[in-house]
Amino acid sequence: MARTLSIEPLTIEPLAGTSFGAVVTGVKVTTLEDATWHELYAAWLKYALLIFPDQHLKRAEQIAFAKRFGPLEFEMAAISNVKSDGSLRIEADNDDVMKILKGNMGWHCDSTYMPVQAKGAVFSAEVVPTVGGHTGFADMRAAWDALDGTLRARIETLAAHHSLHHSQSKVGHETKKRDGEYNGYGLHDGPVPLRHLVKVHPETGRKSLLIGRHAHNIPGLDKAESERLLQELVDFACQPPRIYHHDWTAGDAVVWDNRCLLHQATPWDMTQPRVMWHSRIAGDPASEAALH
């Protein structure tokens, strides 16, 4: 049901056919009054994904909007097949950045492989391809709610290690190599964080699954059983009505709650440019720190 607030002509329309997400119209995120902001934040906690069409955010505007959610892990980074000189990456070259783009097509949470998991992210579209390049989101709260009692009881006491080195190795990324194009945190094969498979949201109290492509090596299980269980959970969790794939229009902006959603990139014709901008909201160490 659409909700119109008297503060500004703001409409929050829940996504049809899904357990989460809403489209927000009637406002520009660059000029939000405090009262409207508080309403939006409450909606974000409820829906976990807010979509803002027709924003066309400039760099400083996106960073300022992201900072309203809290300190940033990083201010802004391009997620793109366009090089800094304006030329397109050649998919067949399969360089490090291309491997990161392809790795991100697996369902994941951001920064679970770091000591502190991210709180969320603001993501915006500058240039979009004519076909493909959607971004998928999956509701891990609804996934937990839908699990049968036997599986819930089994996984509630389990944890998994999270590693970008591990997940990227599955797409053939030799992460120890440094080519100067991508050398982000986590591309190592040393100690990695351990996180519970079931997470309690620090602001809503709702439980959700904490899984995805970075998760592996559940203590107490052998490697094959661990991989099988984690894949079973992803396969179960990431299906309707718990998923939504956003078909981008240039100017769109979204903000998602990384504490309860997975997300994924999807393929597109890489002879066409795709330029997206990512601002990552830092997690609170009190609630998002790894077990060790």
Q: Which of 110, 176, 111, 109 is nearest to 143 (CA)?
A: 109
Backbone angles phi, psi at 182, to 5 degrees: -145, 115
- The shares of helix, strand and coil residues in the chain, as percent rounded to the nearest 5, are 25, 30, 45
Higher-confidence position of 184 and 33 = 33
pLDDT tens-digit series, residues 157-198: 999 999 998 888 888 777 655 544 555 666 666 678 999 999
Whether 99 and 257 have beta carbons less than 8 Å apart is answered as: no
* Per-residue pLDDT, 188: 62
Least confident interval from 89-93, 124-128, 286-290: 89-93
pLDDT tens-digit series, residues 238-287: 999 999 999 999 999 999 999 999 999 999 999 999 999 999 999 999 99
Give mean pLDDT, residues 206-234: 97
Average pLDDT taken over every residue of the chain: 92
On whether the pTM is more than 0.85, the answer is: yes
* Per-residue pLDDT, 96: 84
Q: Which domains does the chain have, with CATH numbers?
A: 3-284 (3.60.130.10)
Give how far Cα 256 sits from Cα of 122, 174, 218, Å: 7, 30, 27
Whether 113 and 210 have beta carbons less than 8 Å apart is answered as: no
Q: How far apart are CA 66 and CA 281, in angstroms?
A: 7
Q: How far apart are CA 134 and CA 153, in angstroms?
A: 35
> Residue 81: what residue type?
N
* Region of 89 on the Ramachandran plot (φ > 0 left; ψ -120 to 50 alpha; else beta): beta
Q: Which of 262, 244, 289, 13 is nearest to 134 (CA)?
A: 244
